[in-house]
Amino acid sequence: MPSMIVAPQPEAVEAGARVLERGGNAVDAAIACGLVQGVVDPQMVGIGGFGSMQVFLPKRGVHKVLEFFSRAPLAATADMWESKLLGQSRDGFAFLLEGGVSEAGHLAVCTPGNVAGYAEALRNWGTMEWRDVFAPAIAQARQGWMVRPHVHWFWSQDQSASGQVNTIDKLRMTATGRRVYFREDGSLKRLGDIINNPDMARSLERLAQGGPELFYTGEMAEEIAADFKANGGLLTMKDLRAYRTSVADPIWGNYRGHRIATNPPPSSGFAMLQVLHILEHFNIGALTHSGTEHIRILTEAMKRMTIDKDRNMSDPTFVPVPTDQLLSRDYTASVAEGIRRGDRLRVSRLERKTERDTTHVSVIDGEGNCVTMTHTLGSPSGAITEGLGFMYNGSMSRFDPRPNRAGSIAPGKRRASSSAPTIVFQGDQPRIVIGAPGGSYIAPAVAQGISNVLDFGMSMPDAVAAPRIVAVSDSIDVSNRIRRGVTDELAGMGYDIKRSPMSYAFAALHGIGSIDGQLEGGADPQRDGMALRVA
Protein backbone atom coordinates (compact mmCIF):
# COMPACT_ATOMS: atom_id res chain seq x y z
CA MET A 1 0.00 0.00 0.00
CA PRO A 2 1.38 3.45 -0.82
CA SER A 3 1.86 6.23 1.75
CA MET A 4 0.83 9.87 1.58
CA ILE A 5 1.42 13.07 3.50
CA VAL A 6 -0.23 16.46 3.06
CA ALA A 7 0.43 19.77 4.80
CA PRO A 8 0.50 23.53 4.08
CA GLN A 9 4.30 23.84 3.74
CA PRO A 10 6.12 22.09 0.86
CA GLU A 11 9.41 21.88 2.76
CA ALA A 12 7.68 20.12 5.67
CA VAL A 13 5.80 17.73 3.37
CA GLU A 14 9.09 16.75 1.73
CA ALA A 15 10.65 16.09 5.13
CA GLY A 16 7.77 13.82 6.12
CA ALA A 17 7.88 12.04 2.77
CA ARG A 18 11.59 11.33 3.19
CA VAL A 19 10.86 9.76 6.57
CA LEU A 20 8.23 7.52 4.97
CA GLU A 21 10.68 6.60 2.19
CA ARG A 22 13.23 5.58 4.83
CA GLY A 23 10.71 3.21 6.43
CA GLY A 24 9.43 5.46 9.18
CA ASN A 25 5.77 5.19 10.10
CA ALA A 26 3.00 7.81 10.04
CA VAL A 27 3.86 9.05 13.54
CA ASP A 28 7.54 9.54 12.67
CA ALA A 29 6.58 11.37 9.49
CA ALA A 30 4.04 13.62 11.22
CA ILE A 31 6.53 14.71 13.87
CA ALA A 32 9.35 15.30 11.38
CA CYS A 33 6.94 17.31 9.24
CA GLY A 34 5.70 19.20 12.29
CA LEU A 35 9.18 20.19 13.40
CA VAL A 36 9.99 21.54 9.93
CA GLN A 37 6.68 23.43 9.96
CA GLY A 38 7.97 25.22 13.07
CA VAL A 39 11.06 26.29 11.12
CA VAL A 40 9.42 27.44 7.87
CA ASP A 41 6.13 28.77 9.30
CA PRO A 42 7.28 30.03 12.70
CA GLN A 43 4.30 32.28 13.42
CA MET A 44 1.92 29.37 12.86
CA VAL A 45 3.61 26.76 15.03
CA GLY A 46 6.87 25.84 16.74
CA ILE A 47 8.34 24.40 19.90
CA GLY A 48 6.74 27.29 21.80
CA GLY A 49 3.28 26.09 20.74
CA PHE A 50 0.77 23.33 21.46
CA GLY A 51 -1.58 20.92 19.71
CA SER A 52 -3.14 17.49 19.48
CA MET A 53 -3.05 14.46 17.23
CA GLN A 54 -5.31 11.53 16.52
CA VAL A 55 -3.40 8.28 16.01
CA PHE A 56 -4.85 5.13 14.44
CA LEU A 57 -2.51 2.11 14.26
CA PRO A 58 -4.75 -0.82 13.25
CA LYS A 59 -2.16 -3.62 13.48
CA ARG A 60 -1.32 -2.58 17.04
CA GLY A 61 -4.93 -2.01 18.07
CA VAL A 62 -4.21 1.64 18.90
CA HIS A 63 -6.71 4.44 18.37
CA LYS A 64 -6.03 7.38 20.66
CA VAL A 65 -5.96 11.15 20.86
CA LEU A 66 -2.79 12.66 22.27
CA GLU A 67 -3.46 16.11 23.75
CA PHE A 68 -0.58 18.51 24.31
CA PHE A 69 -2.48 21.74 24.80
CA SER A 70 -0.98 24.81 26.40
CA ARG A 71 -1.91 25.48 30.01
CA ALA A 72 -2.56 28.76 31.78
CA PRO A 73 0.33 29.71 34.08
CA LEU A 74 -0.10 28.57 37.66
CA ALA A 75 0.07 32.21 38.79
CA ALA A 76 -2.96 33.16 36.64
CA THR A 77 -6.25 34.10 38.31
CA ALA A 78 -9.82 34.20 37.07
CA ASP A 79 -10.22 37.97 37.50
CA MET A 80 -6.71 39.13 36.57
CA TRP A 81 -7.90 40.88 33.38
CA GLU A 82 -11.60 41.39 34.02
CA SER A 83 -11.28 45.17 33.99
CA LYS A 84 -9.32 45.20 30.71
CA LEU A 85 -11.95 43.63 28.43
CA LEU A 86 -12.57 45.63 25.25
CA GLY A 87 -14.39 43.12 23.08
CA GLN A 88 -14.39 39.75 21.43
CA SER A 89 -13.31 38.72 17.95
CA ARG A 90 -16.17 38.36 15.49
CA ASP A 91 -15.42 34.65 15.12
CA GLY A 92 -15.43 34.19 18.92
CA PHE A 93 -11.86 32.93 18.92
CA ALA A 94 -10.24 35.53 21.15
CA PHE A 95 -10.98 38.18 23.75
CA LEU A 96 -9.45 41.58 23.10
CA LEU A 97 -7.95 43.43 26.06
CA GLU A 98 -6.44 46.84 26.71
CA GLY A 99 -2.88 47.03 25.43
CA GLY A 100 -3.17 43.58 23.82
CA VAL A 101 -1.80 42.07 27.05
CA SER A 102 -3.34 38.64 26.42
CA GLU A 103 -2.13 38.35 22.81
CA ALA A 104 1.30 40.01 22.63
CA GLY A 105 4.34 39.86 24.87
CA HIS A 106 5.34 37.55 27.70
CA LEU A 107 2.05 37.85 29.61
CA ALA A 108 0.22 36.30 26.65
CA VAL A 109 2.09 32.99 26.86
CA CYS A 110 0.73 29.71 28.22
CA THR A 111 2.95 26.75 29.05
CA PRO A 112 3.94 25.19 25.69
CA GLY A 113 3.11 21.56 25.00
CA ASN A 114 4.52 20.69 21.58
CA VAL A 115 7.89 19.34 22.71
CA ALA A 116 6.21 17.06 25.26
CA GLY A 117 3.60 15.97 22.74
CA TYR A 118 6.08 15.13 19.99
CA ALA A 119 8.19 13.18 22.50
CA GLU A 120 5.31 11.15 23.86
CA ALA A 121 3.96 10.31 20.41
CA LEU A 122 7.38 9.13 19.27
CA ARG A 123 8.00 7.17 22.46
CA ASN A 124 4.61 5.41 22.40
CA TRP A 125 3.98 4.86 18.69
CA GLY A 126 6.97 5.90 16.57
CA THR A 127 9.81 3.80 15.21
CA MET A 128 12.62 6.35 14.85
CA GLU A 129 15.03 7.87 17.33
CA TRP A 130 14.31 11.34 18.73
CA ARG A 131 17.46 12.91 17.25
CA ASP A 132 16.79 11.38 13.82
CA VAL A 133 13.30 12.89 13.68
CA PHE A 134 14.82 16.30 14.49
CA ALA A 135 17.44 16.08 11.73
CA PRO A 136 15.30 17.48 8.85
CA ALA A 137 14.24 20.52 10.89
CA ILE A 138 17.82 21.19 11.99
CA ALA A 139 19.05 20.98 8.40
CA GLN A 140 16.26 23.31 7.21
CA ALA A 141 17.02 25.83 9.95
CA ARG A 142 20.71 25.73 9.06
CA GLN A 143 20.17 26.35 5.34
CA GLY A 144 17.37 28.91 5.79
CA TRP A 145 14.00 29.04 4.08
CA MET A 146 12.22 31.16 1.51
CA VAL A 147 9.30 33.46 2.37
CA ARG A 148 6.18 32.00 0.72
CA PRO A 149 3.02 33.88 -0.33
CA HIS A 150 0.88 32.87 2.65
CA VAL A 151 3.66 33.66 5.13
CA HIS A 152 4.13 37.13 3.71
CA TRP A 153 0.38 37.73 3.54
CA PHE A 154 0.05 36.80 7.20
CA TRP A 155 2.90 39.05 8.29
CA SER A 156 1.50 41.99 6.32
CA GLN A 157 -2.13 41.99 7.47
CA ASP A 158 -3.35 45.22 9.06
CA GLN A 159 -5.49 44.16 12.02
CA SER A 160 -5.49 47.52 13.80
CA ALA A 161 -9.17 48.15 13.06
CA SER A 162 -10.05 44.98 14.96
CA GLY A 163 -8.17 46.11 18.06
CA GLN A 164 -5.52 43.44 17.62
CA VAL A 165 -1.77 43.83 17.60
CA ASN A 166 -0.44 43.51 14.05
CA THR A 167 1.87 40.58 13.37
CA ILE A 168 4.54 42.90 11.97
CA ASP A 169 4.64 44.68 15.33
CA LYS A 170 5.00 41.34 17.11
CA LEU A 171 7.89 40.49 14.82
CA ARG A 172 9.59 43.73 15.90
CA MET A 173 9.14 43.13 19.63
CA THR A 174 12.48 41.42 20.25
CA ALA A 175 16.03 41.77 19.04
CA THR A 176 15.79 38.28 17.52
CA GLY A 177 12.65 39.18 15.62
CA ARG A 178 14.22 42.34 14.22
CA ARG A 179 17.33 40.43 13.09
CA VAL A 180 15.51 37.50 11.55
CA TYR A 181 12.39 38.92 9.89
CA PHE A 182 13.54 42.34 8.63
CA ARG A 183 15.97 43.58 6.02
CA GLU A 184 18.96 45.73 6.95
CA ASP A 185 16.98 48.88 6.08
CA GLY A 186 14.33 47.93 8.66
CA SER A 187 11.68 46.86 6.13
CA LEU A 188 9.91 43.53 6.45
CA LYS A 189 11.43 40.73 4.41
CA ARG A 190 9.58 40.09 1.17
CA LEU A 191 8.30 37.24 -0.94
CA GLY A 192 11.26 35.08 -1.98
CA ASP A 193 13.67 36.49 0.62
CA ILE A 194 15.62 33.94 2.66
CA ILE A 195 15.06 33.69 6.42
CA ASN A 196 18.07 32.63 8.47
CA ASN A 197 17.60 31.88 12.16
CA PRO A 198 20.74 30.26 13.58
CA ASP A 199 19.42 30.54 17.15
CA MET A 200 16.50 28.29 16.24
CA ALA A 201 18.88 25.79 14.63
CA ARG A 202 20.93 25.68 17.84
CA SER A 203 17.81 25.21 19.98
CA LEU A 204 16.70 22.28 17.83
CA GLU A 205 20.20 20.77 18.02
CA ARG A 206 20.18 21.13 21.81
CA LEU A 207 16.76 19.45 22.05
CA ALA A 208 17.84 16.66 19.72
CA GLN A 209 20.77 15.96 22.06
CA GLY A 210 19.14 16.69 25.41
CA GLY A 211 15.65 15.34 24.86
CA PRO A 212 12.37 16.93 25.98
CA GLU A 213 13.65 17.15 29.55
CA LEU A 214 15.92 19.98 28.45
CA PHE A 215 12.85 22.07 27.64
CA TYR A 216 10.85 21.32 30.80
CA THR A 217 13.36 20.68 33.58
CA GLY A 218 16.84 21.37 32.21
CA GLU A 219 19.05 24.23 31.12
CA MET A 220 16.68 25.49 28.41
CA ALA A 221 13.83 25.57 30.94
CA GLU A 222 15.98 27.73 33.21
CA GLU A 223 16.69 30.13 30.33
CA ILE A 224 12.97 30.36 29.51
CA ALA A 225 12.00 30.99 33.13
CA ALA A 226 14.67 33.67 33.56
CA ASP A 227 13.47 35.47 30.42
CA PHE A 228 9.86 35.48 31.59
CA LYS A 229 10.84 36.77 35.02
CA ALA A 230 12.89 39.57 33.44
CA ASN A 231 10.02 40.58 31.14
CA GLY A 232 7.11 40.41 33.58
CA GLY A 233 5.63 37.14 32.33
CA LEU A 234 3.82 34.61 34.49
CA LEU A 235 5.52 31.45 33.23
CA THR A 236 7.99 29.93 35.72
CA MET A 237 10.08 26.80 36.20
CA LYS A 238 7.17 25.46 38.27
CA ASP A 239 4.91 25.63 35.21
CA LEU A 240 7.43 23.90 32.97
CA ARG A 241 8.16 21.15 35.48
CA ALA A 242 4.46 20.55 36.09
CA TYR A 243 3.50 20.26 32.42
CA ARG A 244 1.85 16.99 31.41
CA THR A 245 0.22 15.75 28.22
CA SER A 246 -2.96 13.67 28.26
CA VAL A 247 -4.23 10.72 26.24
CA ALA A 248 -7.94 10.31 25.50
CA ASP A 249 -10.24 8.17 23.42
CA PRO A 250 -11.71 9.86 20.35
CA ILE A 251 -15.35 10.85 20.36
CA TRP A 252 -17.56 9.38 17.65
CA GLY A 253 -20.25 10.55 15.31
CA ASN A 254 -22.06 9.16 12.29
CA TYR A 255 -22.73 10.58 8.86
CA ARG A 256 -24.21 8.89 5.79
CA GLY A 257 -23.35 5.43 7.08
CA HIS A 258 -19.79 6.35 8.05
CA ARG A 259 -18.34 6.47 11.56
CA ILE A 260 -16.36 9.60 12.37
CA ALA A 261 -13.66 9.79 15.05
CA THR A 262 -12.47 13.17 16.24
CA ASN A 263 -10.92 14.89 19.23
CA PRO A 264 -12.88 15.46 22.46
CA PRO A 265 -13.03 18.77 24.36
CA PRO A 266 -11.11 20.99 24.84
CA SER A 267 -10.76 20.44 21.07
CA SER A 268 -13.64 21.36 18.78
CA GLY A 269 -14.31 17.96 17.28
CA PHE A 270 -17.72 17.86 18.94
CA ALA A 271 -18.64 21.14 17.23
CA MET A 272 -17.70 19.73 13.84
CA LEU A 273 -19.74 16.59 14.54
CA GLN A 274 -22.73 18.66 15.62
CA VAL A 275 -22.81 20.39 12.24
CA LEU A 276 -22.75 17.02 10.47
CA HIS A 277 -25.40 15.53 12.77
CA ILE A 278 -27.70 18.43 11.90
CA LEU A 279 -26.98 18.06 8.18
CA GLU A 280 -27.77 14.33 8.45
CA HIS A 281 -31.47 15.27 8.67
CA PHE A 282 -31.39 16.83 5.18
CA ASN A 283 -30.75 15.37 1.72
CA ILE A 284 -27.75 17.64 1.20
CA GLY A 285 -26.49 15.79 -1.86
CA ALA A 286 -29.70 16.62 -3.74
CA LEU A 287 -29.03 20.35 -3.38
CA THR A 288 -26.92 22.57 -5.61
CA HIS A 289 -23.53 22.90 -3.95
CA SER A 290 -23.09 26.49 -2.70
CA GLY A 291 -26.64 27.26 -3.81
CA THR A 292 -29.05 29.32 -1.73
CA GLU A 293 -30.70 26.44 0.15
CA HIS A 294 -27.40 24.65 0.73
CA ILE A 295 -25.90 27.78 2.26
CA ARG A 296 -29.02 28.55 4.31
CA ILE A 297 -28.98 25.09 5.91
CA LEU A 298 -25.22 25.25 6.53
CA THR A 299 -25.61 28.71 8.06
CA GLU A 300 -28.23 27.77 10.61
CA ALA A 301 -26.41 24.55 11.52
CA MET A 302 -23.20 26.52 12.08
CA LYS A 303 -24.98 29.15 14.15
CA ARG A 304 -26.46 26.49 16.45
CA MET A 305 -23.02 24.93 16.78
CA THR A 306 -21.49 28.32 17.55
CA ILE A 307 -24.02 29.19 20.25
CA ASP A 308 -23.55 25.81 21.93
CA LYS A 309 -19.77 25.99 21.65
CA ASP A 310 -19.58 29.51 23.09
CA ARG A 311 -21.76 28.47 26.01
CA ASN A 312 -20.08 25.16 26.84
CA MET A 313 -16.52 25.00 25.49
CA SER A 314 -13.95 24.44 28.23
CA ASP A 315 -11.33 22.13 29.61
CA PRO A 316 -13.58 19.30 30.88
CA THR A 317 -11.22 18.77 33.81
CA PHE A 318 -12.52 22.12 35.10
CA VAL A 319 -16.02 22.41 33.56
CA PRO A 320 -18.01 19.44 32.16
CA VAL A 321 -18.89 19.72 28.46
CA PRO A 322 -22.28 18.06 27.58
CA THR A 323 -20.95 16.42 24.41
CA ASP A 324 -23.44 13.54 24.30
CA GLN A 325 -26.45 15.83 24.64
CA LEU A 326 -25.20 18.27 21.98
CA LEU A 327 -24.65 15.42 19.52
CA SER A 328 -27.80 13.45 20.30
CA ARG A 329 -30.20 12.59 17.50
CA ASP A 330 -33.18 14.09 19.34
CA TYR A 331 -31.39 17.41 19.84
CA THR A 332 -30.00 17.69 16.31
CA ALA A 333 -33.38 16.63 14.85
CA SER A 334 -35.06 19.49 16.74
CA VAL A 335 -32.48 21.92 15.33
CA ALA A 336 -33.11 20.57 11.82
CA GLU A 337 -36.85 20.97 12.24
CA GLY A 338 -36.35 24.61 13.17
CA ILE A 339 -34.23 25.13 10.04
CA ARG A 340 -37.02 23.59 7.93
CA ARG A 341 -39.50 26.04 9.46
CA GLY A 342 -37.24 28.89 8.48
CA ASP A 343 -36.15 29.76 12.03
CA ARG A 344 -33.23 32.20 12.27
CA LEU A 345 -30.70 32.04 15.08
CA ARG A 346 -28.75 35.02 16.42
CA VAL A 347 -25.11 34.93 17.50
CA SER A 348 -24.27 37.87 19.71
CA ARG A 349 -20.72 39.06 20.41
CA LEU A 350 -18.66 42.19 20.84
CA GLU A 351 -17.50 41.69 17.27
CA ARG A 352 -14.08 42.48 15.88
CA LYS A 353 -12.69 40.44 12.97
CA THR A 354 -9.53 38.35 13.38
CA GLU A 355 -7.37 35.83 11.53
CA ARG A 356 -5.95 32.66 13.03
CA ASP A 357 -2.52 31.14 13.26
CA THR A 358 -2.24 27.33 13.12
CA THR A 359 -1.07 24.51 10.87
CA HIS A 360 -1.87 20.87 10.18
CA VAL A 361 -0.51 17.58 8.80
CA SER A 362 -2.34 14.42 7.67
CA VAL A 363 -0.48 11.14 7.03
CA ILE A 364 -1.32 7.58 5.97
CA ASP A 365 1.58 5.13 5.78
CA GLY A 366 2.00 1.83 3.94
CA GLU A 367 0.81 -0.19 6.96
CA GLY A 368 -2.47 1.72 7.07
CA ASN A 369 -1.43 3.79 10.09
CA CYS A 370 -3.08 7.22 10.17
CA VAL A 371 -2.12 10.44 11.92
CA THR A 372 -3.95 13.74 11.78
CA MET A 373 -2.26 16.48 13.80
CA THR A 374 -3.19 20.12 14.30
CA HIS A 375 -0.63 22.22 16.17
CA THR A 376 -0.26 25.93 16.59
CA LEU A 377 0.88 29.04 18.41
CA GLY A 378 -2.81 29.96 18.86
CA SER A 379 -1.61 33.37 17.83
CA PRO A 380 2.05 34.42 17.92
CA SER A 381 2.95 36.36 21.05
CA GLY A 382 6.00 38.05 19.54
CA ALA A 383 8.01 36.94 22.60
CA ILE A 384 11.33 35.25 21.76
CA THR A 385 13.94 34.43 24.39
CA GLU A 386 17.27 35.84 23.24
CA GLY A 387 19.46 32.99 22.01
CA LEU A 388 16.62 30.48 21.57
CA GLY A 389 15.17 31.70 18.27
CA PHE A 390 11.61 30.39 18.51
CA MET A 391 8.46 32.44 19.20
CA TYR A 392 6.07 31.52 22.00
CA ASN A 393 2.33 31.05 21.73
CA GLY A 394 -0.03 33.91 22.57
CA SER A 395 -2.88 31.74 23.72
CA MET A 396 -3.93 33.52 26.92
CA SER A 397 -6.22 35.53 24.62
CA ARG A 398 -8.44 32.44 24.23
CA PHE A 399 -9.49 32.52 27.89
CA ASP A 400 -12.55 34.52 28.92
CA PRO A 401 -11.37 37.32 31.26
CA ARG A 402 -14.80 37.29 32.96
CA PRO A 403 -14.91 34.94 35.97
CA ASN A 404 -17.46 32.16 36.46
CA ARG A 405 -17.81 31.20 32.81
CA ALA A 406 -16.96 27.96 31.03
CA GLY A 407 -13.92 29.54 29.37
CA SER A 408 -12.69 31.61 32.33
CA ILE A 409 -9.02 31.74 33.31
CA ALA A 410 -7.85 29.19 35.88
CA PRO A 411 -4.30 28.18 36.86
CA GLY A 412 -3.15 25.13 34.92
CA LYS A 413 -6.29 25.07 32.79
CA ARG A 414 -5.89 23.77 29.26
CA ARG A 415 -6.49 26.39 26.64
CA ALA A 416 -9.59 25.48 24.60
CA SER A 417 -8.73 24.61 21.01
CA SER A 418 -10.60 25.04 17.74
CA SER A 419 -8.78 22.08 16.22
CA ALA A 420 -10.67 19.07 14.88
CA PRO A 421 -8.24 16.46 13.49
CA THR A 422 -10.59 13.77 12.19
CA ILE A 423 -10.70 10.28 10.69
CA VAL A 424 -13.79 9.07 8.81
CA PHE A 425 -14.28 5.29 8.66
CA GLN A 426 -16.15 3.22 6.12
CA GLY A 427 -16.68 0.02 8.07
CA ASP A 428 -13.38 -0.57 9.82
CA GLN A 429 -11.27 1.14 7.17
CA PRO A 430 -10.21 4.80 7.16
CA ARG A 431 -11.95 6.62 4.32
CA ILE A 432 -10.85 10.21 5.05
CA VAL A 433 -8.02 11.59 7.19
CA ILE A 434 -8.49 15.33 7.48
CA GLY A 435 -7.94 18.49 9.50
CA ALA A 436 -7.28 22.19 9.12
CA PRO A 437 -5.76 25.30 10.61
CA GLY A 438 -8.03 28.32 10.91
CA GLY A 439 -9.30 29.00 14.44
CA SER A 440 -13.07 29.11 14.81
CA TYR A 441 -13.41 28.34 11.11
CA ILE A 442 -11.90 24.85 11.53
CA ALA A 443 -15.01 22.94 12.66
CA PRO A 444 -17.25 24.37 9.89
CA ALA A 445 -14.56 23.81 7.27
CA VAL A 446 -13.87 20.19 8.25
CA ALA A 447 -17.62 19.46 8.29
CA GLN A 448 -17.96 20.94 4.78
CA GLY A 449 -14.96 18.97 3.53
CA ILE A 450 -16.43 15.69 4.78
CA SER A 451 -19.84 16.57 3.34
CA ASN A 452 -18.23 17.42 -0.01
CA VAL A 453 -16.89 13.87 -0.23
CA LEU A 454 -19.82 11.94 1.24
CA ASP A 455 -22.75 14.04 -0.06
CA PHE A 456 -21.41 15.38 -3.35
CA GLY A 457 -18.97 12.61 -4.31
CA MET A 458 -16.02 14.96 -4.70
CA SER A 459 -12.42 13.83 -4.91
CA MET A 460 -10.22 14.93 -2.04
CA PRO A 461 -8.52 17.72 -4.05
CA ASP A 462 -11.93 19.04 -5.09
CA ALA A 463 -13.39 18.65 -1.59
CA VAL A 464 -10.74 20.79 0.09
CA ALA A 465 -10.78 23.43 -2.66
CA ALA A 466 -14.56 23.79 -3.10
CA PRO A 467 -16.06 27.18 -2.15
CA ARG A 468 -16.89 27.42 1.56
CA ILE A 469 -18.91 29.58 3.87
CA VAL A 470 -18.78 30.11 7.62
CA ALA A 471 -21.46 31.40 9.95
CA VAL A 472 -19.83 31.65 13.37
CA SER A 473 -21.10 35.18 13.97
CA ASP A 474 -24.40 36.87 13.14
CA SER A 475 -23.27 37.15 9.51
CA ILE A 476 -22.59 34.70 6.70
CA ASP A 477 -19.00 34.95 5.51
CA VAL A 478 -18.61 33.67 1.95
CA SER A 479 -15.58 33.04 -0.22
CA ASN A 480 -15.32 35.12 -3.36
CA ARG A 481 -16.28 32.14 -5.54
CA ILE A 482 -19.82 31.94 -4.12
CA ARG A 483 -22.13 33.27 -6.84
CA ARG A 484 -23.39 36.79 -6.29
CA GLY A 485 -26.86 35.76 -7.39
CA VAL A 486 -26.91 33.33 -4.45
CA THR A 487 -25.78 35.91 -1.92
CA ASP A 488 -28.31 38.38 -3.32
CA GLU A 489 -31.06 35.84 -2.61
CA LEU A 490 -29.75 35.27 0.91
CA ALA A 491 -29.54 39.02 1.52
CA GLY A 492 -33.15 39.24 0.33
CA MET A 493 -34.07 36.79 3.10
CA GLY A 494 -32.53 39.19 5.62
CA TYR A 495 -29.10 37.61 6.04
CA ASP A 496 -26.06 39.84 6.50
CA ILE A 497 -23.49 38.74 3.91
CA LYS A 498 -19.78 39.43 4.22
CA ARG A 499 -17.87 38.53 1.09
CA SER A 500 -14.20 37.66 1.49
CA PRO A 501 -11.75 39.04 -1.07
CA MET A 502 -10.14 35.58 -1.04
CA SER A 503 -11.16 32.91 -3.51
CA TYR A 504 -9.99 30.21 -1.10
CA ALA A 505 -11.06 31.26 2.36
CA PHE A 506 -11.99 30.05 5.85
CA ALA A 507 -9.58 27.57 7.41
CA ALA A 508 -7.34 25.46 5.17
CA LEU A 509 -8.37 21.85 4.70
CA HIS A 510 -5.65 19.24 4.25
CA GLY A 511 -6.88 15.71 3.78
CA ILE A 512 -6.25 12.26 2.38
CA GLY A 513 -8.94 10.07 0.87
CA SER A 514 -8.58 6.30 0.74
CA ILE A 515 -10.63 4.11 -1.58
CA ASP A 516 -9.72 0.42 -1.96
CA GLY A 517 -6.13 1.14 -1.01
CA GLN A 518 -5.79 4.02 -3.46
CA LEU A 519 -4.83 7.33 -1.85
CA GLU A 520 -5.63 10.86 -3.04
CA GLY A 521 -4.42 13.95 -1.24
CA GLY A 522 -5.81 17.44 -1.16
CA ALA A 523 -3.98 20.59 -0.01
CA ASP A 524 -6.11 23.73 0.25
CA PRO A 525 -4.74 26.22 -2.32
CA GLN A 526 -4.82 29.12 0.16
CA ARG A 527 -1.82 27.86 2.16
CA ASP A 528 0.84 27.00 -0.48
CA GLY A 529 0.93 23.34 0.53
CA MET A 530 0.98 20.04 -1.28
CA ALA A 531 0.31 16.33 -1.04
CA LEU A 532 3.07 13.80 -1.73
CA ARG A 533 2.57 10.12 -2.47
CA VAL A 534 5.32 7.68 -1.48
CA ALA A 535 5.28 4.37 -3.37
Q: Which positions are catalytic?
A: 358
**What separation in angstroms does the CA of 11 have from each of 18, 31, 33, 44, 110?**
11, 14, 8, 15, 28
How many residues are given for the chain?
535
Dist. CA 27–CA 370, nearest whole Å: 8
In the three-class reduction of DSSP (H, G, I as helix; E, B as strand; rest coil), residue 113 is classed as: coil
In the three-class reduction of DSSP (H, G, I as helix; E, B as strand; rest coil), residue 52 is classed as: strand
Dist. CA 240–CA 236, nearest whole Å: 7
Pairing of strands 62-68, 246-248: antiparallel
User: What's the DSSP call for residue 393?
Assistant: E
Pairing of strands 357-364, 3-7: antiparallel
Specify whether the CB–CB gap between 504 and 465 falls below 8 A: yes
Specify whether the CB–CB gap between 513 and 454 falls below 8 A: no
Dist. CA 512–CA 447, nearest whole Å: 15
* Residue type present at position 339: I
User: What's the DSSP call for residue 472?
Assistant: S
Dist. CA 257–CA 460, nearest whole Å: 19
